[in-house]
Structure 1
């Protein structure tokens, strides 16, 4: 081979090599399946969390309609969350154990998405008689709750407890929402725009909080 010709061919070969690497990388990237979060129906959830009457349900589970009162005394329903991704939890303002950690972590998630109107938050008081609107208002101010984005709610105890047990599957304890009934759970529940459960997280665990933030980003891609 002519040495002069070989020297002239080197740049061409280098360029072809670079394009080959790029092409192979693109093909490999396109072949990697895009991560997608599962949809949880009652049959997919730990049965100890699911009301016995619903453990057989395999499809089409959605969060039931609800009517609650937020920190501003406003009535909040599922209509306020239509077309939104949201994180739900259950707490009470006098809790001195897991709830302060959970609320701090929820505030961190709120901060990560404070400019994203598609992301909202919903906290349910499990001691609604004690957590009146003025109590919730003071609590929300102290914890940095953004009005309109994060609703901290009270309401009918039986209604809230039924949501926890038959919609969100967030608690282990059985009960009827009566006077002696009490639930306490660290679970954060991620809900999609179709009112479906997409995952559960330990609201006291920093690693789970980071995973939740990343999962919200993944979930948003489903609607792009």
Structure 2
């Protein structure tokens, strides 16, 4: 009997390995991979979407831009080409939601410090106050990694159009020079400049969800 088992031991091991491989393959086929939704303007609360885009159901992406970061460098969409990134809107003199949001961005920066293809982008909504020098002081104070995170200023209308027409992150109201975008939204953008998620930047639990969603998105890309 022992001689019989010894003779067929190799075949038994091979059969076991093949069985495991087959079961795993079937599992992979039957269990769908997690993917993130691709958001279109029609998926978002109409109050957050420019009226010209409210019924758009496909092909939405972040528009081109040209802004200046905390180091006086021009930052365009090319800087984020083939990158995943998280965008938000803030201002350095804000004493309500912005400090909490910035602290959460710092947390995200720390969690993703070794991920070279994942970046951060924060737009000031008071560019008349948040000059390059002011953004630099704020960046140093908060521990911003210049290679990872751009704080940008520039033309106010361009920034507000980005918030409303590209990122779908702020209430759609007619633009005027006294306008103030004040939104808690963090927006997750993929390598094709598509919106893949919205997160309340003031809540720790949604930051954890954002980090988990980034892992899913990385597997998609």
Instruction: Report the alpha carbon displacement of residue 26 of structure 1 after superposing the two structures with TM.
Output: 5.1
Would the alpha carbon gap of residues 163 and 19 (structure 1) be closer, same or farther in structure 2, given more than 3 Å must change?
Answer: same
Displaced runs of 4 or more, over 3 A: 14-26
Instruction: Report the alpha carbon displacement of residue 204 of structure 1 after superposing the two structures with TM.
Output: 0.7
| Cα deviation 1:17-58 (Å, max 9, x = unaligned) | 998678545523441100011111111111111011111211
The aligned counterpart of 2:166 is: 167
* In 2, Cα distance between equivalents of 1:81 and 1:21: 42
Matches within 5 A, 1:1-224: 23-24=22-23, 27-176=26-175, 178-223=176-221
Instruction: Report the alpha carbon displacement of residue 179 of structure 1 after superposing the two structures with TM.
Output: 2.0
Contact 1:88 1:122 in 2 (8 A): yes
* In 2, Cα distance between equivalents of 1:58 and 1:173: 18
SS at match of 1:33: coil
* In 2, Cα distance between equivalents of 1:80 and 1:21: 45
SS at match of 1:104: helix
Would the alpha carbon gap of residues 21 and 62 (structure 1) be closer, same or farther in structure 2, given more than 3 Å must change?
Answer: closer
* In 2, Cα distance between equivalents of 1:61 and 1:94: 32
Contact 1:173 1:183 in 2 (8 A): no
Instruction: Report the alpha carbon displacement of residue 59 of structure 1 after superposing the two structures with TM.
Output: 1.0
Contact 1:39 1:198 in 2 (8 A): yes
* In 2, Cα distance between equivalents of 1:18 and 1:159: 59
The RMSD of aligned alpha carbons is 2.1
Instruction: Report the alpha carbon displacement of residue 173 of structure 1 after superposing the two structures with TM.
Output: 4.8
In structure 2, the gaps of 5 or more residues are none
Task: Using structure 1 for the length normalisation, give the TM-score.
Answer: 0.88
SS at match of 1:68: strand
| Cα deviation 1:61-101 (Å, max 9, x = unaligned) | 11110011100011100010101000000000011111011
* In 2, Cα distance between equivalents of 1:64 and 1:18: 51
* In 2, Cα distance between equivalents of 1:161 and 1:140: 22
Q: How many residues align?
A: 216
| Cα deviation 1:106-152 (Å, max 9, x = unaligned) | 11111111111100010000000100111100101111111121000
